[in-house]
Structure 1
């Protein structure tokens, strides 16, 4: 993984740290003079300073610091500007300057990471106190003062749900950039019920999971093994790993598929409904629609390498019946689909996100939210059909614009909140739905796939 280049502290111009400069990113090394070496143990420390692009000069700056977890120094979250930017945006623009302190990243990161069994809070507090003089020197002159007359620093932790992580592959795509495939074991499950996942991440948005699927360990006899920990499974030579896309585990994909309930009467009349998926990622949604829901599926992805990764590591298109198109989704909506009116779809799924961390993560991207795009979507959907979009982190102006444009072009617009995360699902129907009969086969199939349904939480906007 490519980390941001580091320079010695002696080469940093002191004036650069005296004021908040929006989007300024500085990294440097300095001698490790700490007495507490349990976490920060390398002879040199890597310090990174990132100033928020959202900081207002009219407000007193809020300074926060984070100690990079040991053995995660090469994680994109902690060694790249895009990762730091996402950490900063994670706190909703409240932080003016984020300071990360960590060991020097190795030239090649550890192949696997195992979470420490316990966290010694007392030791952590001792380390934080020992770091305060360093942090004080990195505060801007305008920092607000605490009761002791010194600037205060808020220490943050970036907790995740990973007990064990192993890198499967690192690839670079010409459009999306650095790509990471990783297998992980989740925290909080007993020894006989370990939860294993395969995940896809892009360096441009390292904290965003582009895709995830259940990870299954297969023996040489093509049989699933008894659930156990991932570290032990990897030591068994006869075991190989596959992604299971028959069950959806990515939180927002479940309500996206449940959005089909709004047009169940239309879909039930079709022998093989047609779905267009804008944004493929690992292809989990496409596989599910193909093998579990009986759709004829077309997927559009901007980067051919992403499709190659999805095919190799997530089993995309094992049936050979999914049509995959390489191209820009917005260009296709505005310029290609309107010229082919016979090629209309019953459902369009939109799972696109912003490409630059500096602008903050948002889905769909700002350039998607305009009337010609929504008109192009409408022209591509058959009467009785629906468009279903993943929405996340849009500012209020963009969100209001999106809803307004959708209401002008589509018949009804609905919203589904996703449990435990900040994503929402927006559903826009083309025409008034027909009543769903008791014997609706499609709806029964939909209900059979999920234990918890979202049908009662779909609200009209």
Structure 2
């Protein structure tokens, strides 16, 4: 037997409700919860002495329960004669002061200003089923009747699921009338028995009637969620709708987790109630393969500040790996946001405990202690060193963060894409962020967050020997493909014997290996890098290929200032930066009567348009006509290196086909855990090398670069970078 309507419009039909209550009988039908769920809101706005009108009462027990709690001046109306007769019979003796009347709420037989409260539980939702003109006219008539019967200072309490079109209609009508509109989320409305009928949370609109002032357009709009002690003022109906929508999405997320926990991997933001900005991002990860025990149902992992972009924390695959290794059936990973301050692990736990427990898996034992975890037990350090705006790149900031083993890293972040590290460099161990030193002296008052450091922090030393980005390491490794005899210095054997041990160019090399060793580090390389960023890539080539000449092209003049001031970059005889559009710069070089020829051309330039399927390089840089210009300025046995970031598989296939048409020899190297793919392109296919040859060339190049007096990070192994290279 169908007790729910086939279409939403049936809710507005008197015939439907007559049929509904005849079929259902005297058993109560509680839309949107009963007295226990609603009493907290009712007690705020309904006084025992108030005269209350309940519109569309149905056979709900809410009026009866209110009567028994002392609210005895209650009049109930409904369009259904069947239900009115049922309710009169049920309450005639037990509740003699309460009345039930059959009445159409669009035209009621009450005097003006007769009531202090009008209570509506689901009736407005049943009428406002669409936004057609006839429906909106019916709602206007309903609101006009409610307004007429309420005294000034009276309240219209409307219990609703708060669909967007309903909220807009309520706000629009009563704001024009000069009323105050406040929206409460019903505490626990998306829990218990209520959620068996409705996944979405229940809200109460409280419209307070003020005396209308002619010409006044003041809107008073407020929202009070279940976590908040006091209402928060919002500026517009759109903001109110958005705030409600966030609560509804949260309830849907919880429902999704409970219905299908084995397939769950969802994320959501929790915002600062006052500022409205994201404060925490929660990633919910389930590990069905973990065997359940009493103590491994649920845990919360706090991602240290500044490390949310790392593969382990910033990708779905990484988070799954971490959750499985942690050994919990459900792990909530919490990322902390910039421009927010946190009072240590205990403060975060106090803030989050109530909210994250709502995301606990079904079957969590009662009174279960849920652990809060982190790396090393702390929440990390993030210090904002500088913040500015570029005319081309928008807002950006320079921040220092603490990584593993107490190392600190400096990062350039564009706030238009705040989850991507644009450039990164390691700080020398003696250059810990000065913004943190003072806090360490007073642990009792220590707070962690995005702190602004003093200007002198710009002078902290950058470790120029370390490439933070895996794709930069792979791009450097690609220089091992250079085999042009013109790059070899004359009388190599004599050079190796006379310069070894001087801390300048090369390790001491046995004569038996001299003919095999490839002295590229001593070669007179000319390298063109499109895209400067923090300058780490061109700086590394300049420092380690000690006779190289490096030119970098950067379209944004602000980035040259950033690289120089914050990332240890400097220009000199062998390092030049050109402020220009890379497209124009290459085109002008190619059009010259005698084009400059580079041994290596590198593209490490990103797109300013985040909506493109390919974010690096911009599409114009891989069009056929432009690639022909790149080939013109590339030496015959040179190498063209491209950092490709493309999430659109069809677009990527097209780019690869175009590249291969211009550069017949094409190698590809995927960066593990990232979208990046490094492409090594050469003009002549006859120079193709097998994988073992590539690895050996990488090993040889590394031996020439690792020389006395020059730091080298042991984690950087060029031959490993070339092991995974594939010929396309």
Q: TM-score range by the shorter chain?
A: 0.5 to 0.7
Counterpart selection for 1:14 from 146, 149, 164: 164
What is the CA–CA distance in structure 2 between the aligned matches of 1:211 and 1:71, rounded to whole Å? 32
What is the CA–CA distance in structure 2 between the aligned matches of 1:388 and 1:273, rounded to whole Å? 15
What is the CA–CA distance in structure 1 between the aligned matches of 2:413 and 2:704, rounded to whole Å? 31
Counterpart selection for 2:667 from 402, 409, 414: 414
Q: CA 1:42/1:395 → structure 2, altered by over 3 Å: closer, same or farther?
A: farther
User: Are residues 1:203 and 2:462 paired?
Assistant: no
- Whether the 8 Å contact between 2:609 and 2:615 is mirrored in structure 1 is no
User: Are residues 1:278 and 2:537 paired?
Assistant: no
Deviation digits for residues 288-309 of structure 1 (CA, Å, limit 9, x no counterpart): 1111223211111111111111
Counterpart selection for 1:288 from 525, 528, 540: 540
Look up the match of 1:261.
480
- Whether the 8 Å contact between 1:36 and 1:127 is mirrored in structure 2 is no
- Whether the 8 Å contact between 2:396 and 2:415 is mirrored in structure 1 is yes
Look up the match of 1:362.
615
The alignment of Structure 1 onto Structure 2 pairs a total of residues equal to: 364
Counterpart selection for 1:392 from 645, 658, 661: 645
Q: Matches of residues 84-95 of structure 1 in structure 2 within 5 Å?
A: none
What is the CA–CA distance in structure 2 between the aligned matches of 1:42 and 1:287, rounded to whole Å? 54
User: Is the partner of 1:166 in helix, strand or coil?
Assistant: strand
Q: Which has the higher helix share?
A: 2
- Whether the 8 Å contact between 1:369 and 1:398 is mirrored in structure 2 is no
Q: Tell me the CA shift for residue 416 of structure 1.
A: 0.7
Look up the match of 2:555.
302
Bigger relative CO (Cα 8 Å, ≥ 6 apart) = 1
What is the CA–CA distance in structure 2 between the aligned matches of 1:199 and 1:124, rounded to whole Å? 28
What is the CA–CA distance in structure 2 between the aligned matches of 1:346 and 1:444, rounded to whole Å? 21
Look up the match of 1:67.
270
Q: Which structure is larger by alpha-carbon Rg, 1 or 2?
A: 2
Counterpart selection for 1:231 from 436, 442, 452: 436
Look up the match of 1:34.
226
User: Is the partner of 2:427 in helix, strand or coil?
Assistant: strand
Structure 1 alignment gaps of length 5 or more: 1-11, 19-28, 51-61, 79-88, 93-104, 132-158, 218-223
- Whether the 8 Å contact between 1:71 and 1:113 is mirrored in structure 2 is no
Q: CA 1:123/1:389 → structure 2, altered by over 3 Å: closer, same or farther?
A: same
Q: CA 1:408/1:66 → structure 2, altered by over 3 Å: closer, same or farther?
A: same
Counterpart selection for 1:403 from 634, 639, 656: 656
Counterpart selection for 1:216 from 401, 411, 428: 428
- Whether the 8 Å contact between 2:554 and 2:560 is mirrored in structure 1 is yes
- Whether the 8 Å contact between 1:264 and 1:443 is mirrored in structure 2 is no
Q: Matches of residues 446-461 of structure 1 in structure 2 within 5 Å?
A: 446=705, 449=712, 450-451=716-717, 453-461=720-728
- Whether the 8 Å contact between 1:362 and 1:392 is mirrored in structure 2 is yes
Q: CA 1:76/1:407 → structure 2, altered by over 3 Å: closer, same or farther?
A: farther
Deviation digits for residues 267-295 of structure 1 (CA, Å, limit 9, x no counterpart): 85263201111111011111111112232
* Structure 1 length-normalised TM: 0.65
What is the CA–CA distance in structure 2 between the aligned matches of 1:340 and 1:42, rounded to whole Å? 72
- Whether the 8 Å contact between 1:348 and 1:381 is mirrored in structure 2 is yes
Q: CA 1:373/1:170 → structure 2, altered by over 3 Å: closer, same or farther?
A: same
What is the CA–CA distance in structure 2 between the aligned matches of 1:297 and 1:254, rounded to whole Å? 17
> Which range moves more in the overlay, 442-451 or 301-310?
442-451
- Whether the 8 Å contact between 1:282 and 1:316 is mirrored in structure 2 is yes
Counterpart selection for 1:116 from 338, 345, 349: 345
Q: Tell me the CA shift for residue 126 of structure 1.
A: 3.8
What is the CA–CA distance in structure 2 between the aligned matches of 1:216 and 1:73, rounded to whole Å? 37
Look up the match of 2:394.
177
What is the CA–CA distance in structure 2 between the aligned matches of 1:256 and 1:438, rounded to whole Å? 14
Look up the match of 2:471.
252
What is the CA–CA distance in structure 2 between the aligned matches of 1:353 and 1:255, rounded to whole Å? 17
- Whether the 8 Å contact between 2:545 and 2:705 is mirrored in structure 1 is yes
* Structure 2 length-normalised TM: 0.43
User: Is the partner of 2:680 in helix, strand or coil?
Assistant: strand
Q: CA 1:203/1:333 → structure 2, altered by over 3 Å: closer, same or farther?
A: same
What is the CA–CA distance in structure 1 between the aligned matches of 2:339 and 2:165, rounded to whole Å? 33
- Whether the 8 Å contact between 2:410 and 2:426 is mirrored in structure 1 is yes
